[in-house]
Amino acid sequence: MKILIADDDGMSRQLLEKTLEREGYEVISVDNGRCALQQLSLPDGPRLALLDWMMPELDGPGVCLEVRKQYDRPYVHIVLLTSRKSKEDVVEGLEAGADDYLTKPWDPAELTARLRVGQRILQLEDRLVEARETMRFKATHDPLTSLFNRGVIVDLLARELTRTRREKGCTVVMLGDLDHFKDVNDTYGHVVGDEVLREIARRLLGSVRSYDFVGRYGGEEFLIVLNNCDSNSAVARAEEVRNGIALHSLQTMRGPLPITMSLGVLSSRDWDLHLVEEILGETDLALYQAKADGRNCVRLAKPPVLYNVPLQQIR
């Protein structure tokens, strides 16, 4: 594990280096606080640090204060080395952001024991972060396909539509449904059906850009949101998605299966709709039309044409 030593006294620094290298640490050594802060700010910087209290350019508590302002990087466990022994000094160092302190002259056994405590704290923090991220992923993603779940993909669509209206851009919405998927489950079983859904999810992700959104909308329905997409290319993009599924059979434990998808497509620029429910409703109608027209095809949601008729003609 990497550890940073910051001490302007060369002899003390060398002694610390040898002690910690014997314990198996990868030691990074600097002689002033400014360099210490630079090392601790690196993306792969040390997460254990021994800082002398008194250093040129920036003292130990000053380094602690600056490091604690960096909320976007992993936690750094900091031990202050000081010859100060008053409670006021200890409180000052801890309030500056230090996790522990060690008075000089330090004892090697005590030093390594305190650093092991620091490692255990960092390991605990890493496990908590991992658990938090796991819970966040489970709350926002479909457990079978790992795509965004329905709540999240609809929320992302709503946010994108708001941004599109503000910037006068265009969002393309696709609602796709696998054709005759019930027959797959009835004939081959739900295990194979799950295989199909996972592979469809993988192909859908591969058919869009990294900043587009793909979510599982329902059982075998998928919602795709294309950001900043040219309205004129909406159908062509949907055909690419459809062909990415239809042109190649899916490999399953029961052998290759031909699978197709019907898609309803809507370009936000063609519609003066403000509610996400309205957008989804019109896209769903286009999908229904694709199903009615024989499946494995794309249908574009078109707004009704309004004709301007002179009032006197109506009368």
What sign does the CA torsion over 163, 164, 165, 167 have? Answer: positive
Q: Is 220 a catalytic residue?
A: yes
Q: Which amino acid is at 191?
A: V
Beta-carbon contacts of residue 268 (< 8 Å; ≥ 6 apart)? 161, 164, 165, 170, 171, 172, 173, 279
Helix H, strand E, coil C: the string for the chain is CEEEEECCCHHHHHHHHHHHHHCCCEEEEECCHHHHHHHHCCCCCCCEEEEECCCCCCCHHHHHHHHHCCCCCCCCEEEEEECCCCHHHHHHHHHCCCCEEEECCCCHHHHHHHHHHHHHHHHHHHHHHHHHHHHHHHHHECCCCCCECHHHHHHHHHHHHHHHHHHCCCCEEEEEEECCHHHHHHHHCHHHHHHHHHHHHHHHHHCCCCCCEEEECCCCEEEEEECCCCHHHHHHHHHHHHHHHHCCCEEECCEEECCCEEEEEEEHHHCCCCCHHHHHHHHHHHHHHHHHCCCCCEEECCCCCCCCCCHHHHC
Q: In the beta sheet, which residues pair with residue 223? A: 175, 215
- The catalytically annotated residue of 220, 221, 240, 282 is 220
With vertex at residue 301, the alpha carbon angle to CA 202 and CA 183, rounded to the nearest 5 degrees, is 45
CB distance 34 to 57 below 8 Å: yes
Q: Please give the positions annotated as active site.
A: 220
